[in-house]
Copies of this chain bind each other. A is one copy, B any other.
């Protein structure tokens, strides 16, 4: 993509309410624009990150046999009354009547809709287990939306729902999601801490939150320093016996960990999984016939990832005072090509066209701007690699490939650039 034709409206003057570093950097680098309080438009650069995160999530869900579908954003109030949750969400749930006087709500989550879809079609244990998910916009009318997309009102969520015959099977589904979540977050370059959590308005008696450590995090978490050695482990058993609690579940007086080993930290919740048994299948009448012919309510769990929130959370985890430092897997572009002056534009064009043959993930800063502005914008936008074309190297058909994260540069022959960038073994 040629930056001169792209739409990346970088900002200098930030609104006063932007206090989180990710919020500031997303506005500065032209990733998002506020349309109303807590409601954002995703500009092209931001949308690319969102779509890459979606793709990673899809891949991990497909790999555990979860099936993608898509629930509508609006839901009839009826099913919320049926489940008994109509009042639980209070003013956070946006409610309104349509022109026919029927009450609709903008889904803050979708346990009811998915249970409704399930109960309409599945009636026998033979069709279990079933795991359905979707990636869809949700709305929660927060009193104080803040931190940009990290606590917005309209937000993109991946929500999945598992339907099993027995509690044992449901717990296995839960454990499968636990693994898939760690894998997905790890693919995004993140270290996540799974902590035992309260179940809140979703309900149930088994629940983990997945937290990223960050000073700006809204959650307080308490954990055993032994946990550090487990980061990246995917199995729920790896974490067994290691204390890790969300703030509201931590009780200093009953905490089994010695003070010296207890770490108190702030985190950003990027995922939350629940096993809640028959809490919804009972009232919503999602029953199947068991092997012995009995009608039993299905055992359920639900599993959420804050997709749009993750964009902010990743920036909280990866930035410096110059800007964003994207992990490769979610970067809007893998590299940005920077000719430092007019003389180097010809080589810039050549490099751009040649790399385009291998990948569309290349940004080309072909603007008629000073090298200083281009370097500053490249650092701000945070692509993993900067391909710098200067006059001296240009003459030798070489470019400088600078790693945004380490700051290290190597000199590469133009003919070898493709191999250096796209073959991970040679990096």
The reply on A42 being an interface residue by CB < 8 A is yes
A131 to chain B, nearest CB (A): 9
A117 touches B75 (CB 8 A): no
> How many copies of this chain does the complex contain?
2
Q: DSSP majority for the A interface?
A: mixed
The reply on A56 being an interface residue by CB < 8 A is no
- Cβ contact of A47, chosen from B40, B68, B104, cutoff 8 A: B68
With A33-B120, A41-B117, A121-B9 as known contacts, state yes or no: A70 contacts B50, CB within 8 Å: yes
Chain A residues within 8 Å of chain B by Cβ, number: 53
Listed stretches A136-144, A223-231, A245-253; interface member: A136-144
Listed stretches A95-103, A179-187, A322-330, A351-359; interface member: A95-103
A12 to chain B, nearest CB (A): 12
The reply on A319 being an interface residue by CB < 8 A is no
Q: Across the interface, which residues of B come within 8 angstroms of A132, CB to CB? A: 7
The reply on A425 being an interface residue by CB < 8 A is no
Contacts A36-B74, A37-B100, A74-B154 supplied; 16 other A-B pairs, CB < 8 Å:
A9-B121, A9-B122, A35-B72, A36-B75, A36-B76, A36-B104, A41-B113, A41-B117, A43-B69, A44-B67, A44-B68, A72-B137, A73-B154, A74-B139, A92-B99, A94-B98
The 27 sampled A-B contact pairs (Cβ below 8 Å) are: A6-B67, A7-B69, A7-B121, A33-B117, A33-B120, A35-B76, A36-B74, A36-B75, A36-B76, A36-B102, A36-B104, A39-B74, A39-B75, A39-B76, A41-B117, A42-B70, A43-B69, A44-B67, A44-B69, A46-B69, A47-B69, A73-B73, A73-B137, A73-B154, A74-B139, A92-B99, A99-B141
